[in-house]
Structure 1
Amino acid sequence: MIFCTKKNRLFFVLFAIFLSQNLHARELSQYSSTDLISTIESIIIKENKPKKDTVELKKRLAYLEKSSSKASSILYHALLANGFSVYFDKINKRSEFYYLKSIEESKKLNDPSLIIWTQLNYSKYLYFYCQIDKLIPIVLKTMEESNKIEASEMILPEETFKFFGWIMSTVEDNSAIVYYKKSMQYMEKPSSEYAGVLNAIGNCYFRNKDLTNAMRYFNQSEAIALKIGDSVRYAKILGDKALVYEKKRNLKDAVSFLKQDISYSQKFKIDKNEMYASILLAKILLKLKNTFETEKILERAGKIASSKSYYRSSLKEIIELKLSILNGENPGKELLLRRQLKQIEEYLLKTNGNTVLQRSYWLIQKKKYENDTNKIRLELEQGEKIKIILILISVLTIVLSLITYSYLNKKLHTKKIKLENDRLLFEKKLNDASSDINTYAEYLKNKNKQISILENELEEIKNSSSIYQEEEKIKLLEILNSHLMTDENWNAFKREFIKQHGDFYNTVMENFPELKESNLKIIMLQKLDYNNYEISSLLGVTVDAIKKSKQRLKKKLGDRYELLFEIIDYK
């Protein structure tokens, strides 16, 4: 009996897991395009720090693999690639396969947001393992593609722009600060990420030898790190501030800050930061001729640098410092170090050494130059063609411009008189004692017709080649603005509306006291059977603005939104 109970429990647990995965698999495919990006972002953030257990990761992501949504499949392969990256902790074929597969699938789907994110996801992997030479062309392409869409259409725009900042900073391009500041617009403040970007901007200014701005940004970053209790970020900032003090030749304070940085790094087991801080401290201690303490620090830093293949540039610095300490006094040890140094230099020439960085910088500058050159060439070609055409038609242009101006001016004057007469006629009707909401409805319908006529006229003038088009456009815009719903007209309309639909108005206000005047305008006009286009024309806004206003109202009212429209339809 006990055995059967256990079997039943096991069956129900397995069934629940299966059912949960199937429900998840259906979930992503059912999201609207508006919510899809935020849904994808939440999944990415949840899987931001995968563990080394790839089997468990596959189980956790199974609902994405089983989903019929193509976006789910792309996400599955990209996140699985990240998982294998953490598992192997180096460049590996499994990660490469899934990264490239996710990029390929996103291109087939032709979704710009997913194309940019999958390429960025792959780029982070290449950056982390110092594959700079391979990375730069992909990043340049991704940057170019990101310029073609709005930031609101990107997946995690803050991460995207921050990464572009990293790359430009790595190759010492001044555009890094621009990207960093752009990423801050989409970050939560205060947060560790925000503090990190401030710190990164400080480093950019430091490289440009602007110590004042560098320290200003380091201090801002430090204030946020202390406020939110981010000790890890605080440790890194201390190390960066030490660089400023060193440049100012205040070596004592620089040593103090770096020792604090190392202490925090050891406490929180941040090996990479400890290694960097140790190298900086060793360089300063050598200036102070404290070789004993320098050797001790380099020994520990060397163990960290030897533990990862992608720390070899740091290991190169450590060996060079050790050689400077030996200064030819121990030929045997020096020979071993120089052999080791040669091997590392050969490796770095193919990955992230100065040669690669210089070539990467050259690629970026070359891309900029090509873009500028192509732009200038096209402008020159177009200029030559235009010059020939202008010589041939210059006389015709003058004559046609005069004729067009005369025609448009006469047409505009006639139309202005007609529209003004119509407006005065209807406003006279409104001032009559017999005016009611039906008169207003008729008045507003007429306004919509007039607005439509004016908009068509504006479009014609916009497409006209007349040199006087801007003058005519200004005149038409003045007339158009006079036909839009003014505050005075709205108040008069509202009074008449309440007279005829008082019960409806009172019901709405009793049940929805939080409604703003802008909401009431849309609700009252909708009660009179005006569609979104007609409402937008009267209020002088776009149809999208009306739709978004309704969406915000729906979000604000929640379940009561349906009740509001029941009242509109039936009250």
Structure 2
Amino acid sequence: MEYAQKKAVTLLLFLFALFFSQSYSQTIVVPAQDLRQDFERTLHQEIPSQDTLSVKNFLKPLQQSRSEKVQVLYYGLLANGYADFFDEMNAKSDENYLLSIQKAKKSKDEALVVWSQFNYCKYLYYYRKMDKLIPVLLETIDNANKINPEQMILPGETYKIFGWIMMRVDDHELALEFLKKALHYTPKDSSDYGAILNAIGNCYLNKGNTQKANSYFDKTATAALRINDQIRYAKALGDKALIAEKTGDLNAAITLLEKDIALSIEYGNEKNNMYASILMARILLKQKKITAASTYLQKAEDIAITKLYYRDSLKEIIELKLKISNGKDPEKELILHRQLKVLENWLLMTDGDFALRKSNWIVQKTKYENEVKSTQVKLVRESKINKIYVIIILLAIMLIFLIVIFSKKRLKNISLEYDKKTMYYEIEKLRYEKTISEANQDLNTQIQYLHNKNSQISKLKLELEAIHQSPSSFLEEKNGKLQALLDSHLMTEENWSSFKREFQKEYVDFTQVLAVEFPELKESNLKIIMLQKLRFNNPEIASLLGITVEAVKKSKQRLKKKMGNRYNLLFEFIEGV
């Protein structure tokens, strides 16, 4: 009997050791070829996060690959593994994300470059490092715009993250553009599909369109239940509670939040539990239910203090506690005010909302663009421009330092910041116009010029939107320099004449047929037709002509009504010749 027991124990130990060794020997599948589909299959594999050794062992086949492109995946996924394990910003992740980006650029694979940068953007966004995120994000978006989405690695997830970040900087129009693209490239049976629907709903909610927001939250709930994603369903309920709060139906909001919190607790999602509890406390406070509100706030605070990147929520909790106290306990309120001040100073440098408002993220954007453009500019005045760039970078660094240390003096620096931004865009405009003037004036040059203008118009619109929501808004209202720069990028009569001349050289037959067969076309019609011939879409045409997308569509509709059956012939001719 004793022998049999020993034998059984030995067998159990052997099986345990075998299982343990197999679990640790499990490794990632290396892409068979350097193709998007193979890369995506590799990226969809779950990486173990119980310790850093298991992460390295799992990814080892990628490290051993001779393919430089596979090495990009290795360093990016290794960085993700460290981030998941430490659950905070860490030097190992930073180092490996940058190595992944460096190797992607060296490989000259545009899709890999976008993926490596986007992978880093997710990390910076998740841990609220908006000061570091914005320059990387701008470069990533610019690179993504240069390639066909069909060639991108994980286009749905990429556009989703772009949309989320644009929501955070309150550019809801651009966020909607990215999120709708993301929806197109995301399978309907995935959890991401519900997340994107939810984000679109929040965009409409922030724009004040509660009817559309509610419609998207309903779609989110339906999509979540279809795949049994209870946490996404809970979040949809929480967002519907926001609408109920806005419309004054506080009891309905409370009912929705109770379900949200119950599901969050049942499925162990502390983050969603925290957000829902804060909202619940806010609504209960409106109903004067102080005790219940305090209970929910305490539960939310217990979660918020566990993670550094929850400090924006912790700030909201303290502000609600101060509302509850309302002068009843001066000593407690003094402590809360001190905590709030410490949090605001910390968020000033780390969290998105404060970093964007207080630290002026546009300075970081300018710094990034100056550094990148200075390596590409090969002009006669290169050395002088480089000196200007260096001065701008140094001033930006000094400005950020002064903002943090001497926040009370910030108003004195606003004018300088505004002038710097204006100077930068003026230099960019002059630089590119000089490049174009020195190049061969063919149609390709004109097309490149128009694409650059579209890019500059988009950036200036972002800049104007950010400034209108910042303390610098009064300067723009007074001087209108950035608006003037934006207007100067629109197609002037001189630009149009030059473009039309080169177009007519390239498309001789097309131009002649237009003149003979469609003499009723006005100059305004020709602008849209020629740009459409060159594959510019409605938003791009509207941007270049300084009109709305709706105006472009109406112009086409008027032309269709005017031409009747000949309209279809005209646009078949545009597509066919």
TM normalised by structure 2 equals: 0.61
CA offset at residue 274 of structure 1?
A: 0.7
Amino acid of the structure 2 residue aligned with 1:465: K
Residue 88 of structure 2 corresponds to residue 90 of structure 1:
yes
CA offset at residue 362 of structure 1?
A: 4.4
Whether the 8 Å contact between 1:313 and 1:353 is mirrored in structure 2 is no
Residue 515 of structure 2 corresponds to residue 465 of structure 1:
no
> Are residues 467 and 353 of structure 1, via their aligned partners in 2, closer, same or farther at CA, if it must alter by over 3 Å?
closer
Amino acid of the structure 2 residue aligned with 1:159: E
Q: What residue is the counterpart of 2:212 in the other structure?
A: 213
Q: What residue is the counterpart of 2:128 in the other structure?
A: 130
CA distance in 1, matches of 2:317, 2:300: 8
CA offset at residue 58 of structure 1?
A: 1.0
- Match of 1:65, SS? helix
CA distance in 1, matches of 2:20, 2:436: 72
Q: Which runs of 5+ in 2 are unaligned?
A: 1-6, 370-420, 443-501, 515-577
CA distance in 2, matches of 1:241, 1:339: 34
- Match of 1:328, SS? coil
> Are residues 353 and 336 of structure 1, via their aligned partners in 2, closer, same or farther at CA, if it must alter by over 3 Å?
farther
Residue 64 of structure 2 corresponds to residue 63 of structure 1:
no
> Are residues 114 and 360 of structure 1, via their aligned partners in 2, closer, same or farther at CA, if it must alter by over 3 Å?
farther
Task: Note the alpha carbon deviations across 1:290-322, whole angstroms, 9 max, x for none.
Answer: 001001111110010000011001001101111
Q: Which runs of 5+ in 1 are unaligned?
A: 390-461, 475-571
CA distance in 2, matches of 1:228, 1:272: 21
- Match of 1:94, SS? helix
CA distance in 1, matches of 2:352, 2:163: 20
Amino acid of the structure 2 residue aligned with 1:297: Y
CA offset at residue 191 of structure 1?
A: 2.8
Residue 243 of structure 2 corresponds to residue 203 of structure 1:
no
CA offset at residue 365 of structure 1?
A: 9.5
CA offset at residue 471 of structure 1?
A: 6.1
> Are residues 354 and 185 of structure 1, via their aligned partners in 2, closer, same or farther at CA, if it must alter by over 3 Å?
closer
CA distance in 2, matches of 1:56, 1:316: 37
Q: What residue is the counterpart of 1:334 in the other structure?
A: 333
CA distance in 1, matches of 2:285, 2:25: 64
CA distance in 2, matches of 1:84, 1:465: 57
Whether the 8 Å contact between 1:136 and 1:360 is mirrored in structure 2 is no
Residue 358 of structure 2 corresponds to residue 318 of structure 1:
no
CA distance in 1, matches of 2:219, 2:361: 30
- Match of 2:268, SS? coil
CA distance in 2, matches of 1:13, 1:281: 46
CA distance in 2, matches of 1:317, 1:254: 19
CA offset at residue 196 of structure 1?
A: 1.1
Task: Note the alpha carbon deviations across 1:95-137, whole angstroms, 9 max, x for none.
Answer: 1111111111111111111111111111111111110111011
Whether the 8 Å contact between 1:171 and 1:360 is mirrored in structure 2 is no
> Are residues 9 and 203 of structure 1, via their aligned partners in 2, closer, same or farther at CA, if it must alter by over 3 Å?
closer
CA distance in 1, matches of 2:38, 2:422: 39
Q: What residue is the counterpart of 1:294 in the other structure?
A: 293
> Are residues 360 and 213 of structure 1, via their aligned partners in 2, closer, same or farther at CA, if it must alter by over 3 Å?
farther
Amino acid of the structure 2 residue aligned with 1:193: D
Q: 1:74 aligns with which of 64, 72, 80?
A: 72
Whether the 8 Å contact between 1:162 and 1:179 is mirrored in structure 2 is yes
Q: What residue is the counterpart of 1:103 in the other structure?
A: 101
Q: 1:156 aligns with which of 149, 154, 157?
A: 154
Q: 1:112 aligns with which of 105, 110, 113?
A: 110
CA offset at residue 336 of structure 1?
A: 2.1
Whether the 8 Å contact between 1:67 and 1:73 is mirrored in structure 2 is yes
Task: Note the alpha carbon deviations across 1:462-495, whole angstroms, 9 max, x for none.
Answer: 9983885326789xxxxxxxxxxxxxxxxxxxxx
- Match of 1:292, SS? helix
Task: Note the alpha carbon deviations across 1:189-244, whole angstroms, 9 max, x for none.
Answer: 13321111111000001011111111111111111112222111100000000111
> Are residues 469 and 345 of structure 1, via their aligned partners in 2, closer, same or farther at CA, if it must alter by over 3 Å?
same
CA distance in 2, matches of 1:71, 1:319: 48
> Are residues 37 and 340 of structure 1, via their aligned partners in 2, closer, same or farther at CA, if it must alter by over 3 Å?
same
Whether the 8 Å contact between 2:504 and 2:511 is mirrored in structure 1 is no
Task: Note the alpha carbon deviations across 1:520-552, whole angstroms, 9 max, x for none.
Answer: xxxxxxxxxxxxxxxxxxxxxxxxxxxxxxxxx
CA distance in 1, matches of 2:509, 2:298: 76
CA distance in 2, matches of 1:44, 1:236: 26
**Structure with larger Rg:** 1
CA distance in 2, matches of 1:346, 1:14: 47
CA distance in 2, matches of 1:326, 1:233: 34
- Match of 2:505, SS? coil
- Identical-residue share of aligned pairs (%): 40
> Are residues 215 and 365 of structure 1, via their aligned partners in 2, closer, same or farther at CA, if it must alter by over 3 Å?
farther
CA distance in 2, matches of 1:184, 1:202: 13
CA offset at residue 332 of structure 1?
A: 2.5
Whether the 8 Å contact between 1:50 and 1:82 is mirrored in structure 2 is no
- Match of 2:313, SS? helix
Moved more, 122-131 or 50-59: 50-59
Amino acid of the structure 1 residue aligned with 2:80: N
Amino acid of the structure 2 residue aligned with 1:85: A
Two-structure CA RMSD over aligned residues (Å) = 3.7
Runs of 4+ in 1 over 3 A off after TM superposition: 12-21, 359-386, 471-474
Q: What residue is the counterpart of 1:264 in the other structure?
A: 263
> Are residues 109 and 193 of structure 1, via their aligned partners in 2, closer, same or farther at CA, if it must alter by over 3 Å?
same
Whether the 8 Å contact between 2:134 and 2:365 is mirrored in structure 1 is no
- Match of 1:245, SS? helix
CA distance in 2, matches of 1:282, 1:317: 11
